[in-house]
Structure 1
Amino acid sequence: MIKILSIFIIGILTSYSTFGKSVEDKSQFEFSLDTLKLYDQSRQREIPIAIYKPTSKVSGNQKIVIFSHGYGQNKGGDYLAYSYLTEFLATKGFFVVSIQHELATDSLLPLTGNPQIVRRPFWERGADNILCVINELKRTNPDLDFKHITLIGHSNGGDMTALFPQKYPNIVEKIITLDNRRMALPKSKKVKVYTLRSSDQPADEGVLPTETETKKYRIKIVRLANTTHNEMDDNANEKQRKEIQEYILTFIND
């Protein structure tokens, strides 16, 4: 049973407008960026988030994208480190929320032991953060399209993204992982699964579905021949960014 998390906003950190234009597309929106903190009372945990959204009205129900960053060793600010993607999606009319999953007071991610065991609590916490954000959006933005939520996550954030529909089924429509390597992708016809794979980092055994499972559950796996694992955030060059943007947009609109 899904637990309802009690949360409230404890403070707006920054609020400002950013205007972005991606090339070769005239049908795009100007967007704003707000950063703020939520507080989950049930876990006594702060959850910093960044909201990227169009500044003008979007026709129809506005779809939601929730982004989870890769491991940043608790340095903070990683939820802003994928601006080429979060800003791009906002210009396409999506309501985008990027979550800062790591706090300075958190334990560091274990680097020894079986990752699927020792890192599972971190993914569980990330899944709870995502649920917390969705519940808060339902309270503050009830007109959003909650029937079409897409989760996107890179690396460790991709593992959280892969876990979420398995821990909390029937909430999100799609998940897109950017080179998650540890948590097995869900095998279910109730959620659409897409994954972009790097050119240099293999996934652990059992993370990716077999060819038979890929066909059965219609999972889409795309290998990026010219993009490494660490080039999927804002370190990506212009060509890599455009390729990832195009795939992500195609997946969301699929």
Structure 2
Amino acid sequence: MKYNLSALIPFSLLMMNCSIQKKNTESNDYEVKMDTLTLFDSSRNRKIPVAFYYPKTDKKISNQEVIIFNHGYGFNKGGDYFVYSYLTEKLASKGYFTVSIQHELTTDSPLPTEGNLQIVRRPFWQNGSDHILFVLNELKKTKPELDYKHLTLIGHSNGGDMAALFVNQHPNLVYKLITMDNRRMFLPRTSVPKVYTLRSNDYPADEGVLPNEEEQRKYQMTVQPTLINHGHMDNKGTDEEKKTLTNFVLKYLSEQ
């Protein structure tokens, strides 16, 4: 399914390049196409690089669901929206239109490491939440046929904090939230959207971030411990670790 370049003009497009990803070897999976481009939010004078991973097929996928992925902190070096390709490519191969946002630019201020991190990092999460909203609204203009009623947000670490803030602010726009070891922004206590979180074995979350057992039961929230290190939830993980995380994510996506 090739992206219509002319339809991207309203994005205030700055840059675009396309590349074909390798064919997935599993017979039931689609081949995956990837497009990259840089959007521009004129209201905030902000460039927002994104990568689209989606099934390469001549047949229309009815009710194709959208996933927006949000990376962990990458020290403003850029390119972080590619370092979870084990997951974003797999999701696209299963039929999801998957968008990965590059939240940090080289010109951005560094993420604070001192003070009350839930307070000093909040403006950075707000920027991320604003990026998600802008990308989502622009995508609706150019790909109106996608299923936005079942939007899923996924985020690792700082990207999980951004995604959690977005759901707290825009719960009506999201169907499911899946965080991968976010540690600072409290997860919304809600049964709609559905909330899932995969936890590492080496870093605890701040107090109040995760629901207690009573809240988990009340809102049917899922808190899943793993044996995976926080820093191994991207492409640095072993094949077994990637498989574990991918299987959990696919399981959560399949639940009604």
TM-score range, shorter chain: over 0.9
* Separation in structure 2 between the aligned mates of residue 188 and residue 9 of structure 1, nearest angstrom: 36
Structure 1: distance between partners of 2:246 and 2:23: 14
Indicate which of 104, 107, 110 corresponds to 1:108. Answer: 110
Equivalent residue runs for 1:192-203 within 5 Å: 192-203=194-205
Aligned residues: 245
Equivalent residues of 1:58, 1:93 under 8 A apart: no
Whether the 8 Å CA contact 1:9–1:39 is kept in 2: the answer is yes
Which of 130, 140, 143 in structure 1 is aligned with 2:142? 140
Query: Counterpart of 1:240?
Result: 241
Aligned to 1:75: 77
- Give the Cα–Cα distance (whole angstroms) in 2 for the partners of residues 20 and 233 of structure 1: 21
CA displacement at 1:218 relative to structure 2: 0.6
Question: Do the aligned partners of 2:24 and 2:32 also contact (CA within 8 Å) in 1?
Answer: no
Shift of 1:167: 1.1
Cα displacement (A) at 1:244: 0.6
Pairwise CA RMSD? 1.1
1:27 CA displacement: 1.1
What amino acid is the match of 1:9? S
Structure 1 counterpart of 2:22: 19
What is the match of residue 189 of structure 2? 187
For 2:254, the equivalent position in structure 1 comes to: 253
Maintained 8 Å contact 1:147/1:172: yes
The alpha-carbon deviation at position 132 of structure 1 amounts to 0.5
Q: Does 1:8 align with 2:11?
A: yes
- Cα gap change, 1:20/1:105 in structure 2, threshold over 3 Å: closer, same or farther? same
User: Residues 71 and 80 of structure 2 are in contact (CA less than 8 Å); yes or no, is this contact kept in structure 1?
Assistant: yes
Distance 1:202 1:58 in 2: 43
Supply the AA of the counterpart residue of 2:216: T
Amino acid at match of 2:178: I
Deviation at 1:12, TM superposition (A): 3.3
Tell me by how many angstroms 1:19 deviates. 2.5
Whichever residue aligns with residue 34 of structure 1, its letter is: D
Give the Cα separation in 2 of the matches to 1:79 and 1:196: 19
The answer for the alignment partner of 2:218 in structure 1 is 216
Offset at 1:189?
2.4
SS at match of 1:244: helix
In the alignment, what sits opposite 1:45? 46
TM-score by length of 2: 0.93
Other-structure match for 1:3: none
Deviation at 1:169, TM superposition (A): 2.3
SS in 2 for 1:170: helix
Q: What CA distance in whole angstroms lies between the structure 1 residues aligned with 2:178 and 2:165?
A: 12
Task: State the Cα distance separating 1:58 from its structure 2 match.
Answer: 4.8
Report if the CA contact (8 A) 2:14-2:40 is conserved. Answer: no
Q: Percent identity between the aligned chains? A: 53
Whichever residue aligns with residue 159 of structure 1, its letter is D
Q: Structure 2 residue aligned with 1:155, among 130, 154, 157?
A: 157
Distance in 2 (alpha carbons) for counterparts of 1:116 and 1:128: 18
- Superimposed CA distance per residue, residues 54-91 of structure 1 (whole angstroms, 9 cap, x where no aligned partner): 01135321000000000001000000000000001010
Segments of 5+ residues of structure 1 without an aligned counterpart are 1-6
**Which TM-score applies when normalising by structure 1?**
0.94
Alpha-carbon distance, 1:28 to partner:
0.7
CA contact (8 A) 1:20 1:87 kept: no
Contact 2:18/2:36 (CA < 8 Å) preserved in 1?
A: yes
CA contact (8 A) 2:191 2:221 kept: no
- Structure-2 separation of matches of 1:174 and 1:218: 12
